[in-house]
Amino acid sequence: MIVESAEGSATAFAPAKINLTLHVTGQRADGYHLLDSLVVFADTGDVVHVAPARQTSLTVTGPFSRQVPSDTSNLVLKAADWLKAPPAAITLEKHLPAASGIGGGSSDAAATVRALSGCFGLTLPLPAATAPLGADVPVCLRARACRMSGIGDILTEIPDLPPLHFVLANPGVPVSTSAVFANLASKKNRPMPARLPDWKGVDDFTAWLACQTNDLELPARLIAPAVGVALARLGQTEGCLLARMTGSGATCFGLYATRTEADDAARALQTVHPDWWITAASDWRRTD
């Protein structure tokens, strides 16, 4: 979603990405992994502000600003350079922990593309065109519930998901994506069914989801046992229908039938682990 001000600036939301499933189905000769993943977005995330300027700059604020660079290694500046937009002053409000499996950097890059396009009246590129910025950037630019396959470049929207509510929990342990893939026992696992079901509601959806996997969860738990602790703690909260890791970790999610249950579970978990990043969220559905 983009909100433009009268001064010509623009703001874009960068929602957290949640891999409800993540099946690793192969590996290409160039090293890229083939995936089959059901992805949704949460109503919690970072925020990108842009305004015309004499030269492009990046300022990072927010509770997790110290975790990300503000130089050209940041995907926000890489996205601005890739888009070839006019110079802009960019401010990134960092509310999501970095390198935590919820697509923060990729979502920030996608939000930057949306904000700059809105600010300067540029045509928004097709999601697949942003693949050079990273495998998760196309789905983050789409920012709708999708089945993501290929190397992240094949997207099929899933419009009929039931309302979903989550607790996101990150134990604050760094997990290297490359190390997780390197420790994956098999690079060729089963995909999701070719045709996804017509779910009757959240219980029907959860029962189906429980039969799917995140193939990266086991290697992540071996590298960072705290992931297993987070999954166990989420599973013990009242009303939790399913607990699973998202992405390559270390963030895990618990799935709940109502937002009230998610809010209550987040508060209960925070009292036990005050040093973790924990938040309740619902699925975010773009309207623009």
The predicted model scores a pTM of 0.94
Q: What is the rounded average pLDDT of the residues 195-205?
A: 94
With cut-offs at 50, 70 and 90, classify the pLDDT of residue 89: very high
d(CA 136, CA 139): 6
Q: Which one is catalytic: 17, 46, 78, 108?
A: 17
**CATH number of the domain where residue 264 is located:** 3.30.70.890
pLDDT in tens, 13-24: 999 999 999 999
pLDDT in tens, 55-85: 999 999 999 999 898 899 999 999 999 999 9
Q: Are residues 137 and 266 in the same domain?
A: no
Number of domains forming the structure of the chain: 2
Q: Are residues 7 and 140 in the same domain?
A: yes
Q: Tell me how far CA of residue 32 lies from CA of 76, 137, 150, 181, in angstroms.
A: 23, 15, 9, 11
Q: What pLDDT sits at residue 8? A: 84
Domain holding 219, by residue range, is 160-282
Q: Are residues 17 and 145 in the same domain?
A: yes
With cut-offs at 50, 70 and 90, classify the pLDDT of residue 288: low
pLDDT in tens, 149-189: 999 999 999 988 999 999 999 999 988 899 999 999 999 99
Q: Are residues 6 and 131 in the same domain?
A: yes
**CATH number of the domain where residue 17 is located:** 3.30.230.10
Q: What is the rounded average pLDDT of the residues 237-248?
A: 97
Identify the CA nearest to 246 among candidates 267, 271, 215, 224.
215
By residue count, the chain amounts to 288
With cut-offs at 50, 70 and 90, classify the pLDDT of residue 34: very high
Q: Which one is catalytic: 36, 136, 215, 283?
A: 136
Q: Are residues 191 and 77 in the same domain?
A: no
Tell me whether residue 17 is one of the annotated catalytic residues: yes
Residue 167 has which token pair? 């607790």
Query: What three-state secondary structure class fits 81?
Result: helix
Q: Is residue 95 part of a domain?
A: yes
What are φ and ψ of residue 164, in 5° steps?
A: -125, 145
pLDDT of 4 over the 80 cut: no
Taking CB atoms within 8 Å and a gap of at least 24, the contacts of 126-134 are 127/155, 128/153, 128/155, 130/79, 130/82, 132/82, 133/75, 133/78, 133/79, 133/82, 133/106, 133/109, 134/75, 134/105, 134/106, 134/109
Q: Are residues 28 and 166 in the same domain?
A: no
